[in-house]
Amino acid sequence: MADEIVEQQTALRQRIEATITGMFAPEDEGLRHSLQAAKEHGLPEIQINPIQGKLLQLFAKACQARQILEIGSLAGYSGIWLARALPADGHMITLELNPKHAEVVRASFAQAGVAERTEVLVGPAMQHLPELVERGPFDLIFIDADKASYPAYLEWAIKLSRSGSIIIADNCVRCFPALWAQEDRQGEIDADTQGLLKYNQLTKDHPELTSLLLANDEDYTDGFNVSVVK
């Protein structure tokens, strides 16, 4: 009986998600191509989902973003959603550690028609961030790379932003079960989870930010940390 209820709830959630995606966040050829290219090149399937992509666009529009910074490009899926929210003279820089991923990203951006307003910088994000001071401020910053570095990325995101900028970090909800397990004296907390927990704590208490966690993945066990710079 309990299994049946869980199955019904899962089916209902999936149907609601599919309906919202179809109505408000349908994928076009460019977005589908980036997912296909990721598969063909053996990249992990860890991109955001279409509803999250549309939410990134909404945030970009809400802060009238002309300059966007993304940390962690993968195959360009989230980057395409973001770049499409820019005005014609807008610009997005995306930082990617892996040169193979960066190549796929450039091809995906070209296919999606956003190559001219985007730039892919290859290498560890921490190496590039100091160089970007001269190119800021950025109106929206999306953090979606190595989780252990999230606290350091937050520090840079604040330096590179202006009052009213929006800083979004993905995967900030998934860290709580590890924390609860540790509170029950079970298990160690790994560096990635520690990075996420610290990021949440920093954004919660930061005098320059107003923040909230949104559980907005498929099964509400993960999602965005969203901060507005005061």
Using CB under 6 A as the criterion, which residues of the chain lie in contact with ligand SAM when the complex forms?
46-48, 72-74, 77-78, 95-98, 101, 124-125, 144-146
Q: Return the HEC string of 177-230.
A: HHHHHHHCCCCCCCHHHHHHHHHHHHHHHCCCEEEEEEECCCCCCCEEEEEEEC
SS3 165: coil
| Shortest spacing between CB 145 and ligand SAM, in angstroms | 4
Nearest residue (CB) to ligand SAM, 71 versus 158: 71
Nearest residue (CB) to ligand SAM, 96 versus 139: 96
Nearest residue (CB) to ligand SAM, 30 versus 72: 72
| Shortest spacing between CB 39 and ligand SAM, in angstroms | 13
CB burial of residue 17 (10 Å; 0-12, 13-18, 19+): middle
Nearest residue (CB) to ligand SAM, 98 versus 182: 98
Q: Which residues contact 216 (CB under 8 A, 6 or more apart)?
A: 51, 52, 55, 223, 224
| Shortest spacing between CB 147 and ligand SAM, in angstroms | 9
203 and 153 in contact (C-beta within 8 Å)?
no
Read off the amino acid at residue 223.
Answer: G
Nearest residue (CB) to ligand SAM, 144 versus 217: 144
Read off the amino acid at residue 98.
Answer: N
Angle between helices 191-205 and 150-159 (to 10 degrees): 40
| Shortest spacing between CB 16 and ligand SAM, in angstroms | 22
Quote the CA–CA distance of 114 and 123 in Å, as a whole number. Answer: 21
Quote the CA–CA distance of 5 and 194 in Å, as a whole number. Answer: 34
| Shortest spacing between CB 34 and ligand SAM, in angstroms | 8
Nearest residue (CB) to ligand SAM, 91 versus 101: 101
* Residue number with the smallest Cβ distance to ligand SAM: 72
| Shortest spacing between CB 146 and ligand SAM, in angstroms | 4
160 and 141 in contact (C-beta within 8 Å)?
yes
